[in-house]
Structure 1
Amino acid sequence: MINKSVYRNEPLAHYAPGSAERISIQKKITELKSTEMIIPMIINGKEVFTDTQLRIAPPHEHAHTLGYFCEGKSIHVSEAISAALHAKHNWASKSLKERAAIFLKAADLISTTYRSEINAATMLGQSKNVYQAEIDSACELIDFFRLNVKFAHEIEAIQPHSPEGVHNQMVYRPLEGFVFALTPFNFTAIAGNLPSAPALMGNTVVWKPAYTQIYSARIIMKVLMEAGLPNGVINLIYTDGPTTGDIIFQHRYFAGLHFTGSTAVFKHISKTIYQNIDLYQNFPRIVGETGGKDFVLAHADCDIQALSVALVRGAFEYQGQKCSAASRAYIPKSIWPEVEQRIVAMLQEIKTGSVEDFSNFVNAVIDEKAFDKITSYIDAAKADSDATILAGGSYNKSIGYFIDPTIIVTKNPSYKTMKEEIFGPVLTIYIYEDKEWNQVLQLVDTTTSYALTGSIFAKSAAVIEEVKKALYYSAGNFYINDKPTGAVVDQQPFGGARLSGTNDKAGSILNLLRWVSPQVIKENFTPPHDYRYDFMK
């Protein structure tokens, strides 16, 4: 019997003025900023320092140096693979209860001892405000560690029928080989889940985080080691993509990829794996969550204030750098004047700036490359007759990579910012004639090849059912009268299809099933002693 009190979602701290958690994290931010650290790789449980040390700076204050990470070379990739394969037998031979205890302890450590540190590191290294960091690097990561244990126990409980005289058993073996976890910058929790979910199921892992997330990745690894993770089970390396891929994807014992990142990178990796298929001991598992062009569809009969708040929160929380961020919206002409008035008024109140000022709703985008890409879309819209900048449109990278929340209104439903993933604080709105409802349903479904998240705002149950049917394959996570962001582990398992990934639903039992290779064992208590069957008599 699973103890439900252990496997619950982590309560959210709110960081109100004067609260203990607010005082604690402000102190931790000051402490981290006062120290320049050298961050080593962790291979086989050992710190690995190199001569190539790359600088880490807050995206919102790029003149400040947080520290340096030790970039590795091809030899470190090979060493990480060797460590993972060497640790595999002992780790896989442990019971689920033994493995689970480590991740449950890690969850408790983050919930208590390391909560301020991992949140502060996420705030500084990835420019997340305190509330977004709390949701991500504390609560969601804790949820992944705790609730994946619950899912793993549920998997072990799935056993075949055993008739009289026979005992049938399903053994959930780890994959044969090592798993490669390639993790993104935007969620510390995802960076922690991608290596840990396969590890919980008995796999050993080579973990390569995004360079822009290393500052908080180091804390995840520190917590796991303190919780008792054996050496070599998860090996943390900081190596560039081509160097890493050239070795991992040509290794005979490459068994699986756990990926979150861009669609283009995932396509390239998938092609490489399939081209190398004859090299491998088994068919590798490929699990990936990629991009999105997430929509908000409004019906004329909707709660206008709820819609307006969802547009602002859904598009601009964490600077639109969530895979699920609202990026395109379809608003009926009859309610547009009121929606316009409300969202513009909200954006006039929103402040953009450093995470250290808790009154800022919007902070910096992750780096200069992202800044330049996002602002190129804004500049193009300013010069295009098909687009109008309704709000925002300003940006500055002299201190940090700041882009004001920007709303583009377009007359062209196929305008490029309605189709292409921008991954920044840019929302494009198409205003449709109310009578064009059926055509708009088709537009939502066919304008992009992504299918990650989306939402409908409507009061009518009949309209909602119509939309659910019309947009059946348009979103892996579909929201009714809510923003298309904010999935919670075990409540809204996350993932999409089409160009948005393999839809293996992180935060559910479905994802963990991808990291096992089941074996059925039949024991016959009364084996036959005569080859002849009755029909032969």
Structure 2
Amino acid sequence: MLKGFFHVPKAVNEPVKSYAPNSPEKAAVLAAYKKMWNEKIDVPLYIGSEEIRTGNTRNMTAPHDHQHVVGTYHLAEKSHVEKAIANALESRTRWANMAWEQRAAIFLKAAELIAGPYRAKINAATMIAQSKNIFQAEIDASCELIDFLRYNVEFMTQIYNDQPKSDSAVWNRLEYRPLEGFIYAITPFNFTAIAANLPASAAMMGNVVVWKPSDSQVFSAKVIIDVFKEAGLPDGVINVVFGDAQMISETIFASRDFAGVHFTGSTHVFKDIWKTIGGNIHHYKTYPRIVGETGGKDFVLAHPSADVSQVVANTLRGAFEFQGQKCSAASRAYFPKSLWPAIKEEMGKELASMKMGSPEDFSNFITAVIHEGSFDKLVSYIEQAKKDTDAEIIFGGNYDKSKGYFVEPTVILASNPKYTTMETELFGPVLTVYIYEDAKWNETLKLVDETSEYALTGAVFSQDRYAIEEATVALQNAAGNFYVNDKPTGAVVGMQPFGGARASGTNDKAGSALNLLRWVSPRTIKETFVTPRDYRYPFLGE
């Protein structure tokens, strides 16, 4: 083993490229998009050193052109999941014993591969697979993923550097061991960065992983796999399986060596996972770590002192970027009666300027929602709002799935502050607005806090510092990420650790050392230099 106290490169946030007309990055990503659009890839299971093609496949299509097939992926059977577990456990000893700086180098190299030769490819894959416009792809698949990899390496060294006090007679040391067993990573469709970070953060701390990406994200997950392989991640450290989520999870949770789950997805699924783990608790070798970031019903609250243009611009960004398919997306808004006419007028103008279509056309701000199930769910709520007497669609409300799953940015005005779409997570481009009386600011704070079961993100807009303080205190449990005069989306790794509580998850703060601490099991080592040879203490001299 090498000798030395090594220092990793200082983590810096990756600059976001502009993709302006005639820029080299725009040309590169469009060329990558066209190439990947016209190819058909075949994605196997990755178990140990093997690429397994089961022959039982599903097509991968683009949400904005759902008849266009860009590839297929192979579905696992139970035996493949069991094999993935076995390969992970077989790889564990060597990986866990690898010097931390060697693990760090792998993920630092992965960050540089994404920053350079893979940037256009991973962005294009995210545009195709998840229908993100180029800016949303850039801040996710490139910048946030690079930031996760760089900062997690730095956080890892900070954790290892946190040591207990010693004195001349006793040397106390704290060893941060990987968990005993394997980690199960379940990742969502909406962020390529999250899909990579959930398995990678656990692996970085010396753990082995079985990773199940979302069926709707396999196309860009393949690029992540390619990057990790080129970066030198050993076979068996992260094993990748696709297919029936229930079967895969049941097989994983039945293993005595299951040591933890890293999850991002729906609240309902996460609660079922927690229940299953609890039911199996007597079977496990150790208490599994349960880390999850789940749903959100995120709010924008404007005080009567707020700047109207700031409120409108940031509400529209927060609600409709990536078609509202972010757990942090603004989906309920509370505006004061005195500002509503101006807000409504400006909102209408701005919404009318938003273009919708394929992400290949850089003039499109809005693209498609992820799949037909999501489309149909959103349409059902929109149609119900058209019928209900306590709600009115004031902007949008149109949709079309003939070519792609397109839902127009829709704003519902609710006279009932507990109307269904004020409380229910829709995960799409639907914002519900409630107008409150200016004099009822304090009552509205209470309403915001009590309306939703979730507590992920929220934003307050005000030019009155007393009002900002009142909102910050009153809403302290309503959002794990709270924004003042900014949209409730766009947390940056290393700057705004991300996560919420209540039904929004375990609040283990991705993008900080707090998350990495969940993937280690500390061991205290006390070494005494001069050991006593007599059991008698001085008080026995009486």
- Between the aligned partners of 2:536 and 2:9, the Cα distance in structure 1 is 56
The answer on whether the counterparts of 1:454 and 1:474 sit within 8 Å (CA) in structure 2 is yes
- Between the aligned partners of 2:280 and 2:82, the Cα distance in structure 1 is 18
- Between the aligned partners of 1:343 and 1:58, the Cα distance in structure 2 is 30
The number of aligned residues is 537
CA displacement at 1:41 relative to structure 2:
1.3
CA displacement at 1:467 relative to structure 2:
0.6
The amino acid of 2:224's aligned partner reads: I
The answer on whether the counterparts of 2:6 and 2:101 sit within 8 Å (CA) in structure 1 is no
1:96–1:4 distance in 2 versus 1, CA, 3 Å = closer
CA displacement at 1:316 relative to structure 2:
0.1
2:289 aligned with 1:285, yes or no? yes
TM-score w.r.t. the length of structure 1 is 0.99
> Could you tell me which residue of structure 2 aligns to residue 321 of structure 1?
325
- Between the aligned partners of 1:465 and 1:4, the Cα distance in structure 2 is 39
CA displacement at 1:3 relative to structure 2:
6.3
SS at match of 1:57: strand
| Structure 1 residues 100-499: aligned runs within 5 Å | 100-499=104-503
The amino acid of 1:310's aligned partner reads: N
The answer on whether the counterparts of 2:10 and 2:154 sit within 8 Å (CA) in structure 1 is no
- Between the aligned partners of 2:16 and 2:339, the Cα distance in structure 1 is 35
SS at match of 1:430: strand
1:59-115 deviations in Å (ceiling 9; x for gaps): 000111101011111111101100100000000001111100000000000000100
> Could you tell me which residue of structure 1 aligns to residue 521 of structure 2?
517
SS at match of 1:62: strand
1:327-380 deviations in Å (ceiling 9; x for gaps): 000000000000001111000000111111110000000000000001111000
- Between the aligned partners of 1:458 and 1:509, the Cα distance in structure 2 is 32
Structure 2: any 5+ residue segments left out of the alignment? none
The amino acid of 1:201's aligned partner reads: M
* Match among 47, 53, 59 for residue 49 of structure 1: 53
SS at match of 2:262: strand
The amino acid of 2:405's aligned partner reads: Y
- Between the aligned partners of 1:162 and 1:43, the Cα distance in structure 2 is 44
- Between the aligned partners of 1:311 and 1:167, the Cα distance in structure 2 is 55
* Match among 48, 73, 76 for residue 80 of structure 2: 76
The answer on whether the counterparts of 2:390 and 2:414 sit within 8 Å (CA) in structure 1 is yes
CA displacement at 1:4 relative to structure 2:
8.2
CA displacement at 1:50 relative to structure 2:
1.3
2:509 aligned with 1:505, yes or no? yes
The answer on whether the counterparts of 2:60 and 2:71 sit within 8 Å (CA) in structure 1 is yes
CA displacement at 1:239 relative to structure 2:
2.1
- Between the aligned partners of 1:76 and 1:343, the Cα distance in structure 2 is 51
Q: What is the root-mean-square deviation of aligned Cα atoms in Å?
A: 0.9
CA displacement at 1:5 relative to structure 2:
5.8
2:30 aligned with 1:26, yes or no? yes
> Could you tell me which residue of structure 1 aligns to residue 20 of structure 2?
16
- Between the aligned partners of 2:18 and 2:506, the Cα distance in structure 1 is 34
The answer on whether the counterparts of 1:2 and 1:150 sit within 8 Å (CA) in structure 2 is no
- Between the aligned partners of 1:386 and 1:340, the Cα distance in structure 2 is 18
1:243-296 deviations in Å (ceiling 9; x for gaps): 111211111000000000000000001000001100100000000000000000
1:480-511 deviations in Å (ceiling 9; x for gaps): 00000000001001000000000000000000
- Between the aligned partners of 1:96 and 1:294, the Cα distance in structure 2 is 38
- Between the aligned partners of 1:424 and 1:4, the Cα distance in structure 2 is 40
- Between the aligned partners of 1:36 and 1:215, the Cα distance in structure 2 is 10
The amino acid of 1:234's aligned partner reads: I
The amino acid of 1:448's aligned partner reads: S
Give the % identical residues. 55
The amino acid of 1:502's aligned partner reads: T
CA displacement at 1:298 relative to structure 2:
0.3
SS at match of 2:346: helix
The answer on whether the counterparts of 1:390 and 1:407 sit within 8 Å (CA) in structure 2 is yes
The amino acid of 2:114's aligned partner reads: I
The amino acid of 1:299's aligned partner reads: H
CA displacement at 1:19 relative to structure 2:
0.3
- Between the aligned partners of 2:419 and 2:234, the Cα distance in structure 1 is 52
SS at match of 1:64: strand
The amino acid of 1:248's aligned partner reads: I
The amino acid of 1:376's aligned partner reads: S
- Between the aligned partners of 1:145 and 1:28, the Cα distance in structure 2 is 23
1:4–1:247 distance in 2 versus 1, CA, 3 Å = closer
* Match among 38, 42, 66 for residue 38 of structure 1: 42
1:171–1:4 distance in 2 versus 1, CA, 3 Å = closer
Give structure 1 regions of 4+ aligned residues with deviation exceeding 4 angstroms: 1-5
1:435-489 deviations in Å (ceiling 9; x for gaps): 1111111110000110000000001111101111111100000000000000000
CA displacement at 1:46 relative to structure 2:
2.0
SS at match of 2:66: coil
SS at match of 1:436: helix
CA displacement at 1:2 relative to structure 2:
8.4
1:370-401 deviations in Å (ceiling 9; x for gaps): 00001111000001111111100000000000
- Between the aligned partners of 1:496 and 1:89, the Cα distance in structure 2 is 34
CA displacement at 1:164 relative to structure 2:
1.2
1:91-150 deviations in Å (ceiling 9; x for gaps): 000111110000000000000010000000000000000000000000000111110000
